[in-house]
Amino acid sequence: MDSLLVPILLFVACATVLAAGLLTVGSLLGPKKTGRVKEMPYESGMDPIHDARRRFDVRFHLVAIAFLVFDVELLFLYPWAVANKNAAGLKSLTNMGVSQLMIFCEVMVFIALLTAGFVYAWRKGVFQWR
Amino acid sequence: MIEPLIKIAILIGGLMTGAAYFVLLERRMAAWVQDRVGPNRVGFPLSQFVSGLKDLRLFGLGQPAADGVKFILKEEYTPAHVDKRLFVLAPISILVAALVTFAVIPFGDVLPGGVFGDEPIEMVVSPGAGVGMLVVFALSSIAVYGVILGGWASNNKYSFLGGLRSSAQLIAYELPLGLGILGVILATGSLDIGEIIGEQARTGWWFALTQPLGFFVFCVASFAEAARLPFDLPECEQELIGGYHTEYSGIKLLLFLVAEFLHMIAASFLIVMLFLGGWHFWFLTGSGSEATWFQAIMRLVVLNAKIFLVILFFMLVRWSWPRFRFDQLMAFAWKVMMPLGLINFVVVAILDQLKIVSGNDSSGMNLVCALAAWGICIGAWVAISIAGPLVADNRPRRELNSFEIDSQM
């Protein structure tokens, strides 16, 4: 295993133990009482009418889809942002006959396309919360 | 194996204590803003244990300890109507994700060798993890799961709405957050937080100075990601009681609240490291990767002072601005932050390319680039403040007729 990963996994283990330990201590020390009214969902004193998990507004779904589209497009920019000044990466590219300036122009075209998609979605009212 | 464990123990201990005392600080701050006294009484009741001793009051510094004890002694209650497994999993997952973020965030610079063994000690749990920013990004996305799980498992309409709102808000503001980070990564050419700080120290130009627009976008987005006012819609008390943690009590509630504070602390760490130069301060900390003892200690002090100031800023903002309405929140994310983030990224890329093409990396060139970036930042600000009122219809939906609702862009 990658030795860089070990500390992070250790950290995950410690944090989980901490959270679970706190929960255990709390359940050991606290009082335990229950009752019919206490079991009910808290809805400001009204009797709940039905289960809370029902159909919900499609707007939330639209936001999620718009997010997915743009997030994936942004993810494409990360490798370029890291490699733009990286001497080794640039050298192998120039050996293939591609210059750094050309890649820059391609990225700008990519961002222009992304912006075009963004403007289209805006005109279509995707970002309008209605 | 031992060294990371010691660091983890220091970090977790420091963060949990820090979160507890920041709650006290925030309450005192709220009192100060609102012209009240605030919690100043709880000290240590020594007379309860040994008769004849006087109680210590200590300006309310016992409050966090008292709060902690109270949380632990409360009933650990799981209502009957919830999904039991998810109900317990949600607070654990959100706390773990919030804590583990700090595994790749350095809490100081390198300590020179000599005292604790001969090797210099890097003050980060996982040194050399070259993809630090990606890990932070991934873990901050996992926090969304905790919120959604909590809201869904509670089987309560308030929680459910809070969870939905929260998920929509967190994912909408993740795009500007990513765009803000992208500019910094482009200027540095690395995802390693240590290298990002090193680059700012080497040039002496903090990224807040060279990319003001990116700094603004990142700050606002991280306020939203930490769900702090004016972006605390996931749990706006007046509408949703407690939002996604309405049904939670005792330790589980404590875990949610601590995780929320940890998000804020992580956000201020990131703001300081990506944009405010990390441990670097001119003429005080040196700028190389090697540091003398004096410089190493100054770096620690400077870093923590900056983080403290940013946290104070977070708290001041909380008591200064009213909350957004939900449609305003979404419109702000998509129609203001996204374009600003794109503008920032393109400007940074072009200025960077200019430097590469001209082969000119002198301080004069840096000054010109920074001035250009500031000009564009102010220009964008002015353009939005002029165009915003012309384009946006800020009336609540109930005051619009159906035609206006459809024609709103």
Condensed to tens digits (0 to 9), the pLDDT of residues B266-292 reads 999 999 988 888 888 877 777 676 667
Residue B104 — left, alpha, or beta (φ > 0 → left; ψ -120 to 50 → alpha)?
Answer: alpha
- Percentage of chain A beyond pLDDT 90 is 2
What was the ipTM of the complex prediction?
0.85
**What domain range is A86 assigned to?**
59-123
Distance CA B251, CA B253 (A): 5
Task: Name chain A contacts of B151, Cβ cutoff 8 Å.
Answer: none
CA distance readout (Å), A5 to B5, B8, B131, B282: 13, 14, 11, 34
Do B375 and B212 form a contact (C-beta atoms < 8 A)?
Answer: no
Q: Is A103 within the bounds of a domain?
A: yes
Residue B115: how many CB atoms within 10 A of its CB?
9
- Is residue B138 over pLDDT 50? yes
Do A67 and B171 form a contact (C-beta atoms < 8 A)?
Answer: yes
- Percentage of chain A beyond pLDDT 70 is 92
Tell me the sheet residues that pair with B110. Answer: B122
- Is residue B409 over pLDDT 50? no
Do B196 and B181 form a contact (C-beta atoms < 8 A)?
Answer: no
Q: Does B174 touch chain A (CB under 8 A)?
A: yes
Residue B309: what pLDDT?
Answer: 92
Distance CA B38, CA B41 (A): 9
Q: Is A54 within the bounds of a domain?
A: no
For the record, the structure tokens of A8 come out as 């992070």
Which of B76, B186, B246 has its CB closest to that of A42? B246
Cα A86 to the chain's mean position, in Å?
Answer: 27
- Is residue B1 over pLDDT 70? no
For the record, the structure tokens of A108 come out as 């700008």
Q: Is B270 within the bounds of a domain?
A: yes
Do B125 and B103 form a contact (C-beta atoms < 8 A)?
Answer: yes
Q: Is A48 within the bounds of a domain?
A: no
Residue type, B285: T
CA distance readout (Å), B239 to B122, B142, B234: 46, 26, 10
**Quick one: pLDDT band at residue B118, thresholds 50, 70, 90?**
low
Cβ-in-10-Å burial (0-12, 13-18, 19+) of B363 comes to: exposed
Q: Is A50 within the bounds of a domain?
A: no
B236-245, B256-265, B395-404 — which is least confidently predicted? Answer: B395-404
Task: Name chain B contacts of A19, Cβ cutoff 8 Å.
Answer: 91-92, 95-96, 255
Q: Is B38 within the bounds of a domain?
A: no
Mean pLDDT of chain B: 82
Counting the structural domains of chain B, the total is 1
List the beta strands (DSSP E) in A18-129: none
Q: pLDDT tens, A68-91?
A: 888 888 888 888 888 877 766 667
Across the interface, whether the CB atoms of B158 and A43 are under 8 A apart is answered yes
B41-45, B210-214, B296-300 — which is least confidently predicted? Answer: B41-45
Q: How many CA atoms within 13 Å lie on the side-chain side of B174?
A: 27
Q: Does B74 touch chain A (CB under 8 A)?
A: yes
Q: Is B377 within the bounds of a domain?
A: no
**Quick one: pLDDT band at residue A109, thresholds 50, 70, 90?**
very high
Which helix (H) or strand (E) segment is B121 a member of? Answer: strand B121-122
Residue B17: what pLDDT?
Answer: 87
Q: Does B372 touch chain A (CB under 8 A)?
A: no
Across the interface, whether the CB atoms of A130 and B397 are under 8 A apart is answered yes
Q: Is A53 within the bounds of a domain?
A: no
Counting the structural domains of chain A, the total is 1
CA distance readout (Å), A24 to A27, B72, B342: 5, 10, 47
Residue B310: what pLDDT?
Answer: 92
**What domain range is B136 assigned to?**
76-341
Those residues whose C-beta lies under 8 Å from the C-beta of residue A81, and which sit 6 or more positions away, are: B182, B185, B186, B189
Q: Is B156 within the bounds of a domain?
A: yes
Q: Is A128 within the bounds of a domain?
A: no
Q: Is B396 within the bounds of a domain?
A: no
